[in-house]
Amino acid sequence: MRQQGTLWSWWRDLRRIWRVMRDPRTPGWLKMLPLLALIYILSPIDLLPDLAIPGIGSLDDLIILLLALRMLIDLAPGEERRPPSKREDVIEATYRVLED
């Protein structure tokens, strides 16, 4: 069964973000981006005030959060940038055959 669609894509991105945040190779400044975006959302300072422009005022908050998460995914080191494989339980390793 092949799963497609926006919700599946978001779920994949959230899993990728979780792996990137836990990866020790990810620089600290990159891990701070989502936190800084959340601080911006919760702060009273806004580019577009929420009360002055109803509906559109929250749009800048959403854009800042999505940009921070996209930057986290795109700038992540190593293999986290490639899409996950079909089988998550495959372990790639080298092996050798021992003769009896």
pLDDT at 84: 55
Q: In the structure encoding, which two tokens stand for residue 77, read together? A: 């080191």
Instruction: Please answer whether residues 57 and 46 qualify as being in contact, where contact means their C-beta atoms are separated by less than 8 angstroms.
Output: yes
The yes-or-no verdict on residue 85 having pLDDT over 60 is no
Binned at pLDDT 50, 70 and 90, residue 87 comes out as low
Neighbours of 60 (CB within 10 A): 17
Over the chain, what is the mean pLDDT?
A: 77
Binned at pLDDT 50, 70 and 90, residue 99 comes out as confident
Instruction: Please answer whether residues 20 and 26 qualify as being in contact, where contact means their C-beta atoms are separated by less than 8 angstroms.
Output: yes
pLDDT at 80: 42
pLDDT at 82: 52
Residue written as token pair 């080191």? 77
**Cα–Cα distance measured from residue 24 to residue 68, given in angstroms and rounded to the nearest whole number:** 19
Prediction pTM value: 0.59
**Cα–Cα distance measured from residue 22 to residue 90, given in angstroms and rounded to the nearest whole number:** 20
Q: Is the dihedral of CA 9, 66, 77, 24 positive or negative?
A: negative
pLDDT at 86: 59
- pLDDT tens digits for range 28-71: 898 888 888 888 888 877 777 767 777 777 787 888 888 888 88
